[in-house]
Structure 1
Amino acid sequence: MIEAHSLSKKYGPKTAVDDVTFTVRPGLVTGFLGPNGAGKSTTMRMIVGLDRPSGGSVTVNGKVYRDHAAPLHEVGVLLDAKAIHQGRSAYSHLLALGATHGIGASRVHEVIEMTGLDTVAKKRVGGFSLGMGQRLGIAAAMLGDPSTLILDEPVNGLDPEGVMWVRELVRFLASEGRTVLLSSHLMSEMAQTADHIIVIGKGRIIADAPVVDIVSSATTASVRAVSPRAAEMARLLNSPDVTITSIDGETLEIVGLTSAAVGEVAATNGIVLHELTPLRGSLEDAYMNLTADAVEYRTGVFDPANALQPAAHADPAKVDAPHEHTHAASHAAPTHAAPSGPEALR
């Protein structure tokens, strides 16, 4: 279990984390979400003792991280998969890491097989691709068979098979009663993986609830009805508590009524419906609504007409191509499938 109480972190005048309190419980996959600069990475670094809190406290399994005699057996961490000696092989890296806790070669071989790194285990990490590095980072996190896992963007760079493997792995680990804290910017994947969500924005906790509660409270459910008599339907459904939007001549979007209620009105009045679909918000919709006022690095409105035009009066010879900075770490995934579920951990 991870418990944070009034946790804060300041860098000079900048407050990165501002008096946050939360609990990450065992038996659940807890998603940790927030915009860039929201305080996610700083919070995770404080959990594992890489940054010292300016105020408050955070414990893992009842102790401050530095007080654990054998931390690899308590918490497995993936924060930056590139933070590895680039000249070492994956096997040598894991063997050296295990030696600090008396973990031998047999366990190293287990986690290498579990993460699908068998064919590249003796190759230098410096030649690894993004996805392969993520697999090595997960192998290092699992090396001590810990009861708590903290994974920052673990699916970054993985192919679809790798993404599915991580999803199955963390859900299996949670089903064993372990604590799993998982950060990601992939809302669709988080919606399939997490049981509980913590959202942070501008250093403060915005939401802390089960996924279904987050979605239902931060989005609006509606009903789409398609009928050649849509205008008549709109008149029949009109009331102070109902909002009806005409999408086109035959399509209505209705807020304030269930699909069953809309269907009953149509049937009673002999109105043919070509479609009647309940529409529910997604985790991405909920996240965007919750963080609308908490985005620190906001982009401008994209204008396709001007997107490729050079700036006025700019010297083309001095205009650099834009560069995209990628935060997470990496190593490429082998083409064969890694085992998942209980077999992966035995």
Structure 2
Amino acid sequence: MHPTGVIEVNGVTKRYGTRVAVDDLSFTVSPGAVTGFLGPNGAGKSTTMRMIVGLDRPTAGEVLVNGRHYAEHAAPLREVGALLEAKAVHTGRSAYHHLLAMALTHGIPRRRVEEVIDLVGLQEVARKRVGGFSLGMGQRLGVAAALLGDPATLILDEPVNGLDPEGVRWIRTLLRSLAAEGRTVFVSSHLMSEMALTADHLIVIGKGRLIANASVAEVTAIGRSVRVRAQEAARLRDLLVGPDVTVDAVEPGVLQVNGLDSSAIGRVACEHSIALDELTPITASLEEAFMDLTKDAVEFREAS
């Protein structure tokens, strides 16, 4: 029995000729949380999302949604809502008729078309041709299409592209509310600051391989350091340094410790009767943690 909304990527590899886009990738995306999908350009994110919804076939392994391949669902729009390419719309159609055509193929009532138009804020332009839409309006229409079948699973590739600050805040609130309803929300983005505010869990890949599968807090804890102000900083430094611990003197009486948490540092200081004036964990930003995680998986680097 598979819980509703679960995405299972099991040992998936995708090759295009001699190029390996995805390499033995496995992870599970569960309902009730916003799961961010991160990686440098060329990491294999879009290819993975395309395989989830059956647009690409894995060379090896399989991808299941609700325990089935996407193509096996009788009414896919009611199972999975996807925004992979906002421009995949007939430019001569209005937003309303684009959504209506999708609805009629799945037995979705007309009233649902009006509901999603209202939900994404396209009421004033719903009868206008999509060819005249801005990038942000196109993104909103793509989100409306993804929500049309009221699915348990949402897969969105770069949904904030082209949105203004109000739009970015709107999509953040929407995604979190959908997850709070118990839906599975799987979203990719290059905006680390936005992912830090939106996601609960992160899947990070590079060169088609899994790098991290952890909560946002766990990812940002990678490489975390502790600022220590001590009466006998030099003696404390000698006591703390070890095979996996580095200690730097950042100013007189102040150390930056990597490899130990605050509790461990405090215990060492207490055991050796060293007074501490400050013990402050310094957590990396998501951007810093991401750059550190993916430094060996970047396809293009700036020349130095």
Structure 1 residue aligned with 2:288, among 285, 290, 310?
285
CA deviation after TM superposition for structure 1 residue 276, in Å: 6.5
Larger Rg computed on CA atoms: 1
- Is residue 28 of structure 2 the alignment partner of residue 23 of structure 1? yes
The match for 2:227 is 223
Higher share of residues assigned strand: 2
Alignment of 1:233-272 (within 5 A): 233-242=232-241, 243-248=246-251, 252-255=255-258, 256=260, 258=262, 261=266
**Percent of residue pairs identical:** 61
Looking at structure 1, the residues matched to 234 and 58 of structure 2 have their Cα atoms a distance apart, in angstroms, of: 59
Name the amino acid aligned to 1:86.
Answer: T
CA RMSD, 1 decimal: 2.3
Letter in 2 for 1:237: L
Aligned to 2:3: none
TM-aligned CA deviation for residue 278 of structure 1: 3.1
Higher RCO (C-alpha 8 Å, min separation 6): 1
Q: Per-residue CA shift, 1:231-266, capped at 9, x if unaligned?
A: x6533532242544344568653444639949x88x
TM-score w.r.t. length of structure 2 = 0.87
Q: How much does 1:186 deviate?
A: 1.0
Amino acid paired to 1:220: R
> Does 2:170 align with 1:171?
no
* Larger deviation, residues 59-68 vs 159-168: 159-168
1:181-220 equivalences in 2 (<5 Å)? 181-216=186-221, 218-220=222-224
Unpaired runs of 5+ in structure 2? 1-5
Give the aligned residue type for 1:253: Q
Q: Report deviation, 1:144.
A: 0.4
CA distance in 2, matches of 1:244, 1:289: 19
1:125 maps to 130
Asked if the contact 2:226–2:279 (Cα under 8 Å) also holds between the matched residues in 1, the reply is no
Secondary structure of the structure 1 residue equivalent to 2:48 = helix
Alignment-mate amino acid for residue 234 of structure 2: R
User: How many residues end up aligned between the 2 structures?
Assistant: 290
Unaligned segments of structure 1, at least 5 residues: 302-346
Letter of the structure 2 residue corresponding to residue 282 of structure 1: S
Determine the C-alpha separation between the residues in 2 that align with 1:201 and 1:270. 44
In structure 2, distance between residues paired with 1:270 and 1:83: 64
User: How far off its partner does 1:203 sit?
Assistant: 0.9
Q: 1:295 aligns with which of 288, 293, 298?
A: 298
Structure 1 distance, partners of 2:177, 2:203, is 20
Match of 1:71 among 69, 76, 84: 76
